[in-house]
Amino acid sequence: MLLNAFPYFLLVTILFIIYWFIVPTHIRSRLFLIFSFGLLLYLFPTHTMLILIISSVVYFAGELIISAKPICRNTIFVLTILGTLGFLVYYKYLLFFIQVIKYVNLSINIHFVFENPVQKIPIGLSFFTFRFIHYLIEVKRGNIKHRGYLEFLTYTFFFPIVVAGPIERYDRFEQQHQNINGFKWKYLNYGISRIMLGLFKKVVIADSLALFARGLNNPELDGLSYLIAIYAFTFKIYFDFSGYSDIAIGTARLFGYRIMENFNAPYLKRNISLFWKSWHMSLTSWFRDYLFIPLGGSRGTLGRTIINTLIVMIATGIWHGAAFHFIVWGLYHAVGLIILRLYNLFIAIHLSDSFKNSRIATVISIALTFNFTAFGWIFFETSVHQSIHIMRVVFHLN
């Protein structure tokens, strides 16, 4: 389901008219659920039914967590989390694990025959999984007061954010869900302008840059050509992803919902930590709240903080895809964050505030952060072998 395709906007227009001007107020949310579920069921029947089953299990497990005794509550919570992650691992990472096992077996001269599973990953499975885990954690913490099965299904199948997020939080969504009344012109004005901005980013800018970015996967280019491809991909992935987010945010606003922002000028940040607080913000905040902070965050020793950073960034890489180059990309950013922390601890404290806040320091910081991020995209987009090849050609290391 492409958010920049004509059928998508035709369906959104029809739903918009029916939603605001035909059906009574008290059944609008049910109409939205029927439309969202029906659309996904039509496009992906088997996987949509699978998500319906998983979401139902998650919801009723949440109800049991609230009502059960403490020892049972923890058991239900852990089993549901593991089961939810199990579906993600099976569909998205099983083939990767099999390939790793094959590689290890060949390296030690053991020959087992593994059949590669033939399966298609359900659309938006990673986004579904993280939203389910968020819901279970917040229910267990007692932070979600207003719950309902149909409301949870509306949150689950909310069609604007299925394809590429943002990873919306249930409490934010439900609070708005309860307070949407009549049509307001600001919904239409903001929604259309945001959708148009997203389309411009995606169709005009990102798709044009894609022609130059393809060079990253060409093993026969020279250094200058690779540099052009690197920077083309750097802007392509931003305008592509942020464009999809704009379309999702604009579509949701048409129906009265204000969902999370996902980008905040990430390439204009002074350091890699600020970059991550501004890039795919719904994912970054999810890892911060549900992995980094529970691990201890940066409150412990330097060594503990470094380990936590490595874990979170490797998990971030794996979340994006089941391949070694995503892990390397995660490690690359982990190293950048660790170097930044060491710099702040041992070097920045000796620099004057006037220098750190000066224009020249700001320009240098932004340039270093931007280029560090740009070269990191090589590992995101290409295989490890091709990434190393590009680095050697660009930096004349052959």
Please give the distance of CA 227 from its chain centroid, rounded to a whole number: 27
In the prediction, which pLDDT does 116 show? 58
In the prediction, which pLDDT does 104 show? 67
Please provide the DSSP assignment of 29-51 as one string.
HHHHHHHHHHHHHHHSHHHHHHH
Locate the domains of the chain by residue range: 6-182, 184-263, 269-398
299 three-state secondary structure: coil
Instruction: Report the greatest alpha carbon distance in the chain.
Output: 69
Determine the Cα–Cα distance for residues 146 and 181; give it in Å rounded to an integer.
18
CB–CB of 290/134 below 8 Å?
yes
- Please tell me the number of Cα atoms within 13 Å of 237 on its side-chain side: 19
In the prediction, which pLDDT does 95 show? 79
Neighbour tally for 225: CB within 10 Å? 16
Determine the Cα–Cα distance for residues 209 and 202; give it in Å rounded to an integer.
10
Catalytic residue selected from 26, 134, 146, 320:
320
Neighbour tally for 113: CB within 10 Å? 6
Helices (H) and strands (E) in the chain, counts: 18, 0
How is the chain split among helix, strand and coil, in percent rounded to 5? 75, 0, 25
Per-10-residue mean pLDDT, the chain, length 398 = 74 94 90 93 91 96 88 91 93 80 65 60 89 96 90 94 90 82 91 96 96 95 96 98 95 94 96 97 96 92 95 96 94 98 93 90 96 98 96 89
Determine the Cα–Cα distance for residues 82 and 60; give it in Å rounded to an integer.
15
* SS3 letters across 237-278: HHHHHHHHHHHHHHHHHHCCCCCCCCCCCHHHCCCHHHHHCC
147-168 burial, b at 16+ Cβ within 10 Å, e below that, comes to eeeebbbbbbbbbbbbbbbbbb
In the prediction, which pLDDT does 36 show? 93
In the prediction, which pLDDT does 108 show? 66
C-alpha pair distances (Å), 55 with each of 132, 150, 152, 203, 266: 7, 11, 8, 33, 33
- Which of 292, 276, 274, 300 has the alpha carbon at shortest distance from 365? 274
CB–CB of 164/248 below 8 Å?
yes
Contacts of 250 (CB under 8 A, 6+ apart): 190, 191, 192, 193, 194, 195, 196, 197, 198
In the prediction, which pLDDT does 145 show? 85
In the prediction, which pLDDT does 72 show? 86
In the prediction, which pLDDT does 150 show? 94
Determine the Cα–Cα distance for residues 344 and 342; give it in Å rounded to an integer.
5
Neighbour tally for 115: CB within 10 Å? 6
Please provide the DSSP assignment of 156-194 as one string.
HT-GGGTTT-----HHHHHHHHTT--S--HHHHHHHHHH
Decide if 320 is catalytic.
yes
